[in-house]
Structure 1
Amino acid sequence: MLRPCSAWRVLVIGYGNTLRGDDAVGPILAERLRGEVLAEGLLILSCHQLTPELASDVAACEHVVFLDASLEIPVGEIECRPLTPLPRDAAPLVHSLSPERLLALAQLCYGCVPQATLVSVGGLRFDFGDAVLSPPVAATVEPALQRIRELIGLEPRQTAG
C-alpha cells in the first residue's frame, strides 16, 4: 500500500557527484531551489548519492521529488516520471540506492511510501574532475527549475523592488 507518514508536504532530493560535470545538475537544482523558494512543509536536500539513511525522510513526506542527471535521455532534455518502490525481493540493502530502492526501503522500514517523481536532465559530460556543467545542461537549469516549481506547486520568492 502506498501511503505517506507526512511530516513534510514535499521533499526534494537533488543528488549527483559535483565533481563529474553534468552529474552535478541534481545538487545544483536543489541548491538553486533552496535559494529561491521559501515554503512551509518543504524540505530540500542535496547529496552525493542516495543512501539508506534517507529512508526516514522519504517516509515522512507526502511527495518526494528526486533530481538527477541521466545518460538515458537526450542531452539537455528534461523528463519527469512517476516512481514506485521496487518489489521487496528486488531491493537489497547497499550503500547507494536508486530512487525506487529508496522508496522500497522507506516502505519496508517505516510502512510509508509517498508519491514520488524523478526529474531527470539529459547529461553530456560525466568526467571526473570536471566541476562545470556542459553548455546544453547549463541551459536546461532554468527550464528544469520551472518544471520542478510547477510539479510541487510553488512559485519563487518575490523580491522587493
Structure 2
Amino acid sequence: MSGRVVVIGVGNPLRGDDGVGPAAVEALRGRVPDGTVLAVSDGEPARMLDLWRGADTVVVVEALRARPNRPGELHTLTAADAATRTAGTASTHALGLGECLALAKALDQLPPSLVVHAMQVADMELGEGLSEAVRSVLPELIDRVAASVRQAHGQDREQ
C-alpha cells in the first residue's frame, strides 16, 4: 500500500448547494497533512475512478438529497452504505455516487478504504452560493473531513 490519501469534493459550485463538496475541499487546503491529494469532480464515474486510482484511502464529500430532506444534516457513510443510500438520489450529475461505486466494485477498482461525508442540501438550482442552512454547517463538515484525513494518515490530533 502507498498510504496515498485522496479527498474528492463532488459537485458543481454553479448549482447552489451542490457546490458544498468543492467548497469543503477548498477550505481543507493547508489543514491536512502534506501529500494529501485534494481534488474536485463533477461526479462522472470514469473521472472519479481515475482520481482515486492507487489510493489507499478515499474521502468523498458530496451533496445529498433525501426524503425527508433536512438541509444541513450531515451523514458519514461507508462505501457500502453510500452505494445503497445514494443510488438513484437527486443529483445534478448524470450518474450519482451510488452508480459510481457500483461500477468501481464491478471493475474491482474500489479503494481499500472509502468514506463519504455527505450533507443534505436545500437548493441545487442554477446560481452560485450556498444556502444559509448549508453555510452554517459547512465548518462542521470540514472538521469531519479533516479528521478522516488525519486518521487515514495515522494522526489523531489536529495539526
TM-score clears 0.5: yes
Q: Percent identity at matched positions?
A: 26
CA distance 1:104–1:124, shift in 2 (3 Å): closer
Match of 1:53 among 47, 51, 64: 47
Hey, what's the Cα distance between the residues in 1 that align with 2:135 and 2:56?
30
Q: Which runs of 5+ in 2 are unaligned?
A: 88-92
**Contact 1:103 / 1:113 at 8 angstroms: preserved in 2?**
no
Q: CA RMSD in A?
A: 2.7
Q: Aligned-pair distance for 1:112?
A: 5.0
After TM superposition, list the pairs within 5 Å mapping 1:46-125 onto structure 2.
46-72=40-66, 73-84=69-80, 96-109=94-107, 111=109, 113-125=111-123
**Contact 1:107 / 1:113 at 8 angstroms: preserved in 2?**
no
Indicate the residue corresponding to 1:3 in structure 2. none
Q: Aligned-pair distance for 1:68?
A: 1.1
Deviations 1:136-161 (A, max 9, x none): 1101111111111122226665xxxx
Hey, what's the Cα distance between the residues in 1 that align with 2:20 and 2:40?
11
**Contact 2:24 / 2:138 at 8 angstroms: preserved in 1?**
yes
- Poorly superposed stretches of 4+, deviation over 4 Å: 107-112, 154-157
- With structure 2 as the length reference, what TM-score do the two structures score? 0.75
Hey, what's the Cα distance between the residues in 1 that align with 2:110 and 2:19?
29
Q: Which runs of 5+ in 1 are unaligned?
A: 1-5
Deviations 1:85-139 (A, max 9, x none): 96xxx9xxxx9443343334344446553221111111111111x2011111101
Aligned length: 143
Hey, what's the Cα distance between the residues in 1 that align with 2:2 and 2:96?
23
